Amino acid sequence: MALHRLKESGQAPGLLVCTLSEEHRRISMHGVHELLLDAQAAALNIPLKKVYLPDPCPMEKYDAIMRKLVDDLKAQGITHMAYGDLFLEDLKSYRESKLEGTGIEPLFPLWLSDTTELVNEFIDLGYVAEVVATDDAKLAPSFCGRNLDKLFIRDLPKEVDPCGENGEFHSFVYGGPIFQKTLAIEVGDKVQKHYRSSDDSFQSSFHFCALRLS
């Protein structure tokens, strides 16, 4: 929807940027393989810049990688970077602080949008998406692998944001108005993965469903 809004306003981006696991070649926090990411970018007809992150990737390392990315983009003449953030103030402030003084201006085309209205607009416009990851602390595993449609939104617990802005779920969009074609995808098996913080003070688990091009 951030990309949709930018295109509507005449600010169509010339480049997409996405971070992936260097080892697994999958999108960070989504688990989607880069083959699907490549197909998505091709269907959008926008060049894609992939940024590979090592595992583990402490914050200092992540910041260094992203600083180099920003320097490279600036050298290419990039003047703005757009994000799909909705209401998380700390994340927005973090992005703004990292671009401060770089000459690149951050854009937040969805900022403070009503998330219920936004997800319904997404569906009504004809976008299609698959829910590829769910946080076990917030959603039952049965939500993983479902279509992001109005039935999915209806079934969400009331404390879960309908856009998943608090990390409750992640999705992969594979068709819609700004796509040149809808990708043909198949949903594979689900897996559960457990995570620990570096000091073992926090544990979490997520379910992921495998997607593949058909």
Mean pLDDT over 45-56 rounds to: 95
Instruction: Please list, residue by residue across 16-43, b when 16 or more beta carbons sit within 10 angstroms of its beta carbon and e when fewer do.
Output: ebbbbbeeeebbbebbbbbebbebbbeb
* H/E element, 134: strand 128-135
Query: Which residue range forms the structural domain that includes residue 25?
Result: 2-213
- Of the candidates 84, 91, 185, 92, the one whose C-alpha atom is nearest the C-alpha of residue 130 is 185
What CATH number should be reported for the domain holding residue 77?
3.40.50.620
Determine the pLDDT at residue 104. 97
Q: Minimum mean pLDDT among 85-99, 101-115, 200-214: which range?
A: 200-214
Q: Tally the domains of the chain.
A: 1
User: Which residues, 6 or more positions from 56, have their beta carbon under 8 angstroms from its beta carbon?
Assistant: 198
- Of the candidates 184, 189, 181, 183, the one whose C-alpha atom is nearest the C-alpha of residue 208 is 189
- The structure's pTM equals 0.93
pLDDT at residue 185 above 70? Answer: yes
